[in-house]
Amino acid sequence: MRILRVAAVAAGGLLVLSQLVPAQATGGPSYRWDVTPTGSTAQFRGLSAVSKDVAWVGGTQGQVLRTVDGGRHWQNVSPAGAEALQFRDVQAFDAQRAVILSIGPGTDSRVYRTVNAGKTWTETFRNTDANAFYDCMAFNGGGHGLALSDPVDGKFRIAATSNGGKSWKVQPNDGMPAALPGEFAFAASGTCLVAGPGRTAWFATGGGDRPRVFRTFDGGRHWTVADSPMASGEAAGIFSLAFRGPLFGVAVGGDFLKPTEAVKAASVTYDGGRTWKLVPPDKAPKGYRSGSTFVPWSLSTVVAVGPSGSDVSTDGGRSWKQFSDGNFDSVECGGHGRQAGCWASGAKGAVARLAVGR
Protein backbone atom coordinates (compact mmCIF):
# COMPACT_ATOMS: atom_id res chain seq x y z
CA MET A 1 0.00 0.00 0.00
CA ARG A 2 2.74 2.46 0.94
CA ILE A 3 4.75 1.59 -2.16
CA LEU A 4 1.71 2.29 -4.35
CA ARG A 5 0.96 5.51 -2.52
CA VAL A 6 4.51 6.86 -2.73
CA ALA A 7 4.78 6.00 -6.41
CA ALA A 8 1.43 7.52 -7.22
CA VAL A 9 1.92 10.79 -5.40
CA ALA A 10 5.45 11.08 -6.82
CA ALA A 11 4.29 10.66 -10.42
CA GLY A 12 4.74 13.85 -12.40
CA GLY A 13 2.81 15.26 -15.31
CA LEU A 14 3.15 17.69 -18.18
CA LEU A 15 3.31 21.29 -17.03
CA VAL A 16 1.19 23.58 -19.14
CA LEU A 17 2.77 27.04 -19.14
CA SER A 18 -0.28 28.73 -20.64
CA GLN A 19 -2.49 28.29 -17.62
CA LEU A 20 -5.25 30.85 -17.77
CA VAL A 21 -8.64 29.43 -18.67
CA PRO A 22 -11.23 32.22 -19.02
CA ALA A 23 -13.50 30.83 -16.34
CA GLN A 24 -14.88 33.25 -13.78
CA ALA A 25 -18.12 34.22 -12.17
CA THR A 26 -19.94 37.06 -13.88
CA GLY A 27 -18.53 40.33 -12.63
CA GLY A 28 -15.96 38.55 -10.46
CA PRO A 29 -12.18 38.52 -10.62
CA SER A 30 -10.14 36.39 -13.01
CA TYR A 31 -7.32 34.15 -11.84
CA ARG A 32 -4.15 32.85 -13.45
CA TRP A 33 -0.85 31.28 -12.44
CA ASP A 34 2.31 33.18 -13.35
CA VAL A 35 4.99 30.49 -13.56
CA THR A 36 8.40 31.43 -12.15
CA PRO A 37 11.62 29.81 -13.44
CA THR A 38 13.23 27.67 -10.73
CA GLY A 39 15.87 25.93 -12.86
CA SER A 40 14.96 22.63 -11.17
CA THR A 41 13.46 19.36 -12.39
CA ALA A 42 12.33 18.22 -8.95
CA GLN A 43 8.70 17.68 -8.03
CA PHE A 44 7.78 20.19 -5.34
CA ARG A 45 4.96 18.95 -3.11
CA GLY A 46 6.28 20.83 -0.08
CA LEU A 47 5.31 24.51 -0.17
CA SER A 48 5.18 27.37 2.32
CA ALA A 49 4.01 30.85 1.33
CA VAL A 50 5.25 33.58 3.66
CA SER A 51 4.11 36.51 1.51
CA LYS A 52 3.84 37.63 -2.11
CA ASP A 53 7.63 37.90 -2.17
CA VAL A 54 8.84 35.10 0.11
CA ALA A 55 8.16 31.40 -0.45
CA TRP A 56 9.90 28.08 0.18
CA VAL A 57 9.45 24.77 -1.65
CA GLY A 58 10.67 21.25 -0.95
CA GLY A 59 10.65 18.18 -3.13
CA THR A 60 12.36 15.19 -4.65
CA GLN A 61 16.15 14.86 -4.94
CA GLY A 62 16.32 16.35 -1.45
CA GLN A 63 15.81 19.81 -2.90
CA VAL A 64 14.70 22.91 -1.01
CA LEU A 65 14.44 26.28 -2.78
CA ARG A 66 13.72 29.76 -1.46
CA THR A 67 12.75 33.08 -3.07
CA VAL A 68 12.60 36.53 -1.49
CA ASP A 69 11.76 38.52 -4.64
CA GLY A 70 8.46 37.09 -5.78
CA GLY A 71 9.98 34.20 -7.73
CA ARG A 72 12.29 36.18 -9.99
CA HIS A 73 15.21 34.31 -8.44
CA TRP A 74 15.28 31.01 -6.56
CA GLN A 75 18.11 29.98 -4.27
CA ASN A 76 18.95 26.32 -3.73
CA VAL A 77 19.17 25.91 0.06
CA SER A 78 18.96 22.11 0.19
CA PRO A 79 20.36 20.34 3.26
CA ALA A 80 23.73 18.68 2.62
CA GLY A 81 23.58 14.92 2.20
CA ALA A 82 19.80 14.77 1.75
CA GLU A 83 19.73 13.95 -1.97
CA ALA A 84 17.90 10.65 -1.43
CA LEU A 85 15.07 12.22 0.57
CA GLN A 86 11.68 13.54 -0.54
CA PHE A 87 10.69 16.74 1.24
CA ARG A 88 6.88 16.75 1.14
CA ASP A 89 6.09 19.50 3.66
CA VAL A 90 7.60 22.89 4.44
CA GLN A 91 6.67 25.32 7.20
CA ALA A 92 8.43 28.66 6.82
CA PHE A 93 7.94 31.26 9.54
CA ASP A 94 9.73 34.04 7.63
CA ALA A 95 12.59 34.48 5.16
CA GLN A 96 15.11 33.07 7.64
CA ARG A 97 13.38 30.30 9.60
CA ALA A 98 11.84 27.13 8.20
CA VAL A 99 11.11 23.50 9.09
CA ILE A 100 11.00 20.74 6.45
CA LEU A 101 9.63 17.18 6.60
CA SER A 102 10.87 14.26 4.51
CA ILE A 103 8.54 11.30 4.05
CA GLY A 104 9.03 7.56 3.83
CA PRO A 105 9.19 4.41 5.93
CA GLY A 106 11.47 4.20 8.93
CA THR A 107 14.39 6.60 9.01
CA ASP A 108 13.38 8.28 5.74
CA SER A 109 10.87 10.28 7.81
CA ARG A 110 12.88 13.19 9.20
CA VAL A 111 12.54 16.84 10.19
CA TYR A 112 15.17 19.53 9.57
CA ARG A 113 15.22 23.12 10.81
CA THR A 114 17.05 26.26 9.71
CA VAL A 115 17.27 29.71 11.30
CA ASN A 116 19.65 31.27 8.78
CA ALA A 117 17.78 31.08 5.45
CA GLY A 118 18.96 27.55 4.71
CA LYS A 119 22.68 28.20 4.97
CA THR A 120 22.75 25.38 7.52
CA TRP A 121 20.17 22.84 8.65
CA THR A 122 19.84 20.87 11.88
CA GLU A 123 18.14 17.48 11.90
CA THR A 124 15.70 17.67 14.81
CA PHE A 125 13.72 14.44 14.35
CA ARG A 126 14.42 11.04 12.80
CA ASN A 127 11.82 8.32 12.93
CA THR A 128 13.24 5.04 14.22
CA ASP A 129 10.10 2.92 13.99
CA ALA A 130 10.08 0.85 10.80
CA ASN A 131 6.27 0.77 10.91
CA ALA A 132 5.85 4.56 10.99
CA PHE A 133 5.56 6.76 7.89
CA TYR A 134 5.21 10.51 8.42
CA ASP A 135 3.06 12.35 5.86
CA CYS A 136 2.66 16.00 6.82
CA MET A 137 2.99 18.58 9.58
CA ALA A 138 1.32 21.80 10.72
CA PHE A 139 2.07 24.61 13.18
CA ASN A 140 -0.12 26.74 15.41
CA GLY A 141 1.23 29.94 16.91
CA GLY A 142 3.77 30.01 19.71
CA GLY A 143 6.00 27.35 18.21
CA HIS A 144 3.50 24.52 18.68
CA GLY A 145 3.43 22.01 15.85
CA LEU A 146 2.38 18.47 14.99
CA ALA A 147 3.59 15.84 12.53
CA LEU A 148 1.34 12.98 11.40
CA SER A 149 2.32 9.37 10.73
CA ASP A 150 0.23 6.61 9.21
CA PRO A 151 -1.13 4.10 11.72
CA VAL A 152 1.24 2.15 13.92
CA ASP A 153 -0.30 -0.71 15.92
CA GLY A 154 -3.75 0.29 14.66
CA LYS A 155 -3.64 4.03 15.44
CA PHE A 156 -2.35 7.14 13.71
CA ARG A 157 0.79 8.48 15.37
CA ILE A 158 1.49 12.10 16.29
CA ALA A 159 4.82 13.77 17.03
CA ALA A 160 4.64 17.20 18.69
CA THR A 161 6.91 20.20 19.18
CA SER A 162 6.48 23.20 21.45
CA ASN A 163 9.62 25.10 20.41
CA GLY A 164 9.20 25.71 16.70
CA GLY A 165 10.58 22.34 15.62
CA LYS A 166 13.78 22.33 17.71
CA SER A 167 12.74 19.06 19.31
CA TRP A 168 9.89 16.56 18.88
CA LYS A 169 8.17 14.03 21.10
CA VAL A 170 5.98 11.16 19.94
CA GLN A 171 2.66 11.42 21.75
CA PRO A 172 0.88 8.64 23.65
CA ASN A 173 -1.83 7.05 21.53
CA ASP A 174 -4.49 6.49 24.20
CA GLY A 175 -6.30 9.64 23.01
CA MET A 176 -6.32 8.56 19.35
CA PRO A 177 -9.32 6.65 17.90
CA ALA A 178 -8.54 3.36 16.20
CA ALA A 179 -7.76 3.43 12.48
CA LEU A 180 -9.92 1.64 9.94
CA PRO A 181 -8.51 -1.32 8.00
CA GLY A 182 -6.37 0.09 5.18
CA GLU A 183 -6.71 3.70 6.38
CA PHE A 184 -3.83 6.15 5.90
CA ALA A 185 -3.07 9.79 5.09
CA PHE A 186 -1.87 11.13 1.74
CA ALA A 187 1.58 12.73 1.56
CA ALA A 188 0.50 14.72 -1.49
CA SER A 189 0.69 18.42 -0.63
CA GLY A 190 1.51 18.92 3.04
CA THR A 191 -2.13 19.69 3.82
CA CYS A 192 -3.43 16.34 5.05
CA LEU A 193 -2.83 17.93 8.49
CA VAL A 194 -3.71 21.58 9.15
CA ALA A 195 -3.62 23.75 12.27
CA GLY A 196 -6.28 26.16 13.49
CA PRO A 197 -6.69 28.71 16.30
CA GLY A 198 -5.20 27.94 19.69
CA ARG A 199 -4.20 24.27 19.83
CA THR A 200 -6.75 23.09 17.27
CA ALA A 201 -5.75 20.83 14.37
CA TRP A 202 -7.38 18.48 11.88
CA PHE A 203 -6.12 15.65 9.71
CA ALA A 204 -7.80 13.75 6.88
CA THR A 205 -7.58 10.19 5.63
CA GLY A 206 -8.39 7.77 2.82
CA GLY A 207 -7.67 4.20 1.90
CA GLY A 208 -10.37 2.67 4.07
CA ASP A 209 -14.04 2.03 3.39
CA ARG A 210 -14.74 5.72 4.05
CA PRO A 211 -12.60 8.86 4.44
CA ARG A 212 -12.52 10.53 7.84
CA VAL A 213 -11.45 13.78 9.50
CA PHE A 214 -9.81 13.76 12.93
CA ARG A 215 -9.89 16.83 15.20
CA THR A 216 -7.95 17.87 18.31
CA PHE A 217 -8.43 20.82 20.68
CA ASP A 218 -5.43 20.17 22.93
CA GLY A 219 -2.46 20.12 20.61
CA GLY A 220 -2.67 16.49 19.54
CA ARG A 221 -3.13 14.74 22.87
CA HIS A 222 -6.78 13.75 22.32
CA TRP A 223 -8.71 13.37 19.06
CA THR A 224 -12.28 12.88 17.88
CA VAL A 225 -13.18 11.60 14.41
CA ALA A 226 -16.00 12.14 11.91
CA ASP A 227 -16.93 10.28 8.75
CA SER A 228 -16.91 12.09 5.41
CA PRO A 229 -19.25 11.55 2.43
CA MET A 230 -16.35 11.84 -0.03
CA ALA A 231 -14.89 8.97 -2.06
CA SER A 232 -12.53 6.49 -0.45
CA GLY A 233 -10.58 3.45 -1.54
CA GLU A 234 -7.07 2.23 -2.23
CA ALA A 235 -6.24 5.40 -4.19
CA ALA A 236 -9.00 7.71 -2.97
CA GLY A 237 -9.94 9.85 -0.02
CA ILE A 238 -9.39 13.33 1.34
CA PHE A 239 -6.03 14.71 0.24
CA SER A 240 -6.24 18.26 1.58
CA LEU A 241 -7.99 20.33 4.23
CA ALA A 242 -8.32 24.10 4.53
CA PHE A 243 -9.98 25.95 7.41
CA ARG A 244 -11.05 29.54 7.94
CA GLY A 245 -11.19 29.85 11.73
CA PRO A 246 -12.36 27.11 14.08
CA LEU A 247 -15.60 26.13 12.32
CA PHE A 248 -15.53 26.76 8.57
CA GLY A 249 -13.60 24.18 6.54
CA VAL A 250 -13.17 22.62 3.11
CA ALA A 251 -11.92 19.17 2.11
CA VAL A 252 -10.79 18.19 -1.40
CA GLY A 253 -9.50 14.98 -2.91
CA GLY A 254 -10.90 12.23 -5.07
CA ASP A 255 -9.07 9.33 -6.71
CA PHE A 256 -5.51 10.01 -7.86
CA LEU A 257 -5.77 7.18 -10.39
CA LYS A 258 -8.64 9.13 -12.02
CA PRO A 259 -7.15 12.66 -12.11
CA THR A 260 -9.70 14.11 -14.53
CA GLU A 261 -12.77 12.76 -12.76
CA ALA A 262 -14.49 14.54 -9.87
CA VAL A 263 -15.23 11.40 -7.85
CA LYS A 264 -16.92 12.87 -4.76
CA ALA A 265 -14.02 15.27 -4.73
CA ALA A 266 -15.07 18.00 -2.25
CA SER A 267 -17.02 18.61 0.95
CA VAL A 268 -17.57 21.43 3.45
CA THR A 269 -18.10 21.76 7.19
CA TYR A 270 -19.62 24.58 9.23
CA ASP A 271 -19.17 23.05 12.68
CA GLY A 272 -15.43 22.52 12.95
CA GLY A 273 -15.39 19.14 11.29
CA ARG A 274 -18.08 17.41 13.33
CA THR A 275 -20.16 16.93 10.16
CA TRP A 276 -19.36 17.23 6.45
CA LYS A 277 -21.60 17.96 3.47
CA LEU A 278 -20.71 16.64 0.01
CA VAL A 279 -20.40 19.16 -2.83
CA PRO A 280 -22.60 17.95 -5.73
CA PRO A 281 -20.68 16.66 -8.79
CA ASP A 282 -21.87 19.52 -11.01
CA LYS A 283 -20.47 22.06 -8.53
CA ALA A 284 -17.33 20.20 -7.46
CA PRO A 285 -13.79 20.66 -8.79
CA LYS A 286 -13.36 19.19 -12.28
CA GLY A 287 -11.01 16.42 -11.17
CA TYR A 288 -8.93 14.99 -8.36
CA ARG A 289 -7.41 17.79 -6.27
CA SER A 290 -4.42 17.37 -3.95
CA GLY A 291 -4.08 20.84 -2.38
CA SER A 292 -6.31 23.66 -1.14
CA THR A 293 -6.09 27.01 0.62
CA PHE A 294 -8.20 30.00 1.60
CA VAL A 295 -6.94 33.29 0.15
CA PRO A 296 -6.04 36.06 2.63
CA TRP A 297 -8.09 38.82 0.99
CA SER A 298 -11.47 37.09 1.11
CA LEU A 299 -13.37 35.27 3.85
CA SER A 300 -14.93 32.75 1.48
CA THR A 301 -12.57 32.32 -1.50
CA VAL A 302 -10.74 28.99 -1.75
CA VAL A 303 -8.30 27.72 -4.38
CA ALA A 304 -7.69 24.01 -5.09
CA VAL A 305 -5.04 22.45 -7.34
CA GLY A 306 -4.32 19.05 -8.85
CA PRO A 307 -2.68 17.39 -11.85
CA SER A 308 -5.54 18.23 -14.21
CA GLY A 309 -6.10 21.85 -13.21
CA SER A 310 -6.96 24.47 -10.62
CA ASP A 311 -10.35 25.61 -9.38
CA VAL A 312 -11.62 28.56 -7.36
CA SER A 313 -14.64 28.81 -5.08
CA THR A 314 -15.96 32.19 -3.97
CA ASP A 315 -18.66 30.75 -1.70
CA GLY A 316 -16.56 28.81 0.78
CA GLY A 317 -16.30 25.61 -1.22
CA ARG A 318 -19.98 25.08 -2.03
CA SER A 319 -19.35 25.52 -5.77
CA TRP A 320 -16.16 25.57 -7.84
CA LYS A 321 -15.06 26.88 -11.23
CA GLN A 322 -11.91 25.80 -13.06
CA PHE A 323 -9.52 28.61 -14.06
CA SER A 324 -6.39 26.69 -15.07
CA ASP A 325 -5.55 23.41 -16.80
CA GLY A 326 -1.97 23.35 -15.49
CA ASN A 327 -0.48 20.63 -13.31
CA PHE A 328 0.19 21.55 -9.67
CA ASP A 329 0.29 19.50 -6.49
CA SER A 330 0.33 22.10 -3.71
CA VAL A 331 -1.07 25.55 -3.06
CA GLU A 332 -0.69 27.94 -0.13
CA CYS A 333 -1.24 31.60 0.70
CA GLY A 334 0.58 33.78 3.19
CA GLY A 335 1.03 37.34 4.33
CA HIS A 336 -1.41 40.15 5.08
CA GLY A 337 -2.68 43.20 3.28
CA ARG A 338 -0.52 44.27 0.37
CA GLN A 339 2.07 41.66 1.31
CA ALA A 340 -0.37 38.76 0.84
CA GLY A 341 0.30 36.25 -1.89
CA CYS A 342 -0.61 32.75 -3.05
CA TRP A 343 1.73 30.18 -4.56
CA ALA A 344 1.45 26.77 -6.21
CA SER A 345 4.09 24.10 -6.86
CA GLY A 346 4.34 20.77 -8.62
CA ALA A 347 6.14 18.58 -11.15
CA LYS A 348 9.27 19.39 -13.17
CA GLY A 349 10.31 22.26 -10.93
CA ALA A 350 7.04 24.13 -11.38
CA VAL A 351 6.33 27.00 -9.01
CA ALA A 352 3.88 29.81 -9.76
CA ARG A 353 2.36 32.84 -8.10
CA LEU A 354 -1.37 33.58 -8.28
CA ALA A 355 -2.40 36.68 -10.21
CA VAL A 356 -5.87 38.13 -9.69
CA GLY A 357 -7.44 40.60 -12.11
CA ARG A 358 -10.74 42.11 -13.13
pLDDT digits (tens, 9 = 90+) for 280-317: 999 999 899 999 999 999 999 999 999 999 999 999 99
Tell me the HSE value of 180 on the side-chain side, using a 13 A CA sphere: 22
pLDDT at 7 over 70: no
Task: Kindly state the percentage of the chain with pLDDT values over 90.
Answer: 90
Would you say 305 and 328 are in contact if contact means Cβ atoms under 8 Å apart? Answer: yes
Query: How large is the C-alpha radius of gyration of the chain?
Result: 18
Contacts of 268 (CB under 8 A, 6+ apart): 249, 250, 251, 276, 277, 279, 316, 317, 318
Res 114: pLDDT? 98
pLDDT at 244 over 90: yes
Q: How far is residue 137's CA from residue 88's CA, in Å, rounded to a whole number?
A: 9
Query: What's this model's pTM, rounded to 2 decimal places?
Result: 0.92
Res 28: pLDDT? 76
User: 337 φ, ψ to 5°?
Assistant: 60, -135
pLDDT in tens, 154-210: 999 999 999 999 999 999 999 999 999 999 999 999 999 999 999 999 999 999 999
pLDDT in tens, 77-122: 999 999 999 999 999 999 999 999 999 999 999 999 999 999 999 9
Res 27: pLDDT? 58
Identity of the amino acid at 23: A
